Amino acid sequence: MISLLVCFACAAPTTVAPTCAASPAPLVRALESFEELVAEYEAAVETWKAELSGTEDRAERKRLRNARPAKVFAPRFEALAALGEGRALVWQLDNIRHLDIAVNARDAKRLEWYGVLFEKHAGEAWFSDALTQLWSDRKRVDAPQLSAWLAAARDKNESKEVQAHARYYLAYEDVHSDDEAARRLGFAALESLIADLPDTKWTDQARQDLFLLRDRAVGMPAIDFEGKTVDGDTFKLSDYQGKVVLLDFWGFW
């Protein structure tokens, strides 16, 4: 029997440093968890805020404002995003104004990142975070694209909360429209949401919107209530139906 022993030896570099040691290590750290990275980032933000509020020196405050933690952490979030961590894209979108991206290039970068999010991650359980971020940027996205992305989350995600979230946003513009026909469509969409997904946070919001914007809008019947006059007589608001009623609410504090 012949045994073959192969030995790989690597001598320490003398004058040329290895590439990975000469720069920050986003690739080395890319396997860290998103949750741990967010916790580290948030701690850095708190330290940064304390330093900023703790100095009155104008030059130092300017230096600190230009040294936001987002710029330092951006390569690590970018590395996670490149490995398929969609929540890192949401972080980048939320912090885009603090990253080294020219102002006139930010909208294009937003659309690029949202495209990846809705193509590859619309079925993720955490996707409500992406919907919330998209909604904050909705004025930067044309209406057809916004509707298409929301519909993708509604149709691809198995989470009832995410589905309800997307459906609520899809109805929002119609519900708040000045056009009566659009408003009726929006109200119908909210009613459908309540019927299909009765036990979500966004269903509760839909109920509240229907109550305030439709059932208690100007021109709708007021809620009946019972009270007492200054003489102690009991009355109901409905007792005065057909009459002009002035309600004066007052009290002592």
**Higher pLDDT pick, 5 / 88:** 88
Q: Tell me the average pLDDT across 103-130.
A: 97
Domain locations in the chain as residue ranges: 26-134, 159-243
Q: Can you tell me whether residue 236 is helix, strand or coil?
A: strand
pLDDT at 9: 38
Is residue 157 within 8 A of residue 123, CB to CB? The reply is yes
Is residue 225 within 8 A of residue 210, CB to CB? The reply is no
pLDDT at 185: 96
Q: Tell me the average pLDDT across 14-21.
A: 38
The model carries a pTM of: 0.76
pLDDT digits (tens, 9 = 90+) for 69-86: 999 999 999 999 999 999
Is residue 164 within 8 A of residue 201, CB to CB? The reply is yes
Q: What is the mean pLDDT of the chain?
A: 86
Angle between helices 201-209 and 180-196 (to 10 degrees): 140
Whether 7 has a pLDDT exceeding 50, the answer reads no
Q: DSSP state, 163? A: H
Whether 66 has a pLDDT exceeding 60, the answer reads yes
Q: Tell me the average pLDDT across 92-101.
A: 95
Whether 251 has a pLDDT exceeding 90, the answer reads no
pLDDT at 31: 58
> Given pLDDT bands bounded at 50, 70 and 90, which one contains residue 16?
very low
Residue with tokens 């002009």: 244
d(CA 42, CA 13): 37
Strand 234-236 relative to strand 226-228: parallel, antiparallel, unpaired? antiparallel
pLDDT at 137: 97
Q: Which of 87, 95, 109 shows the shortest CA–CA distance to 37?
A: 87
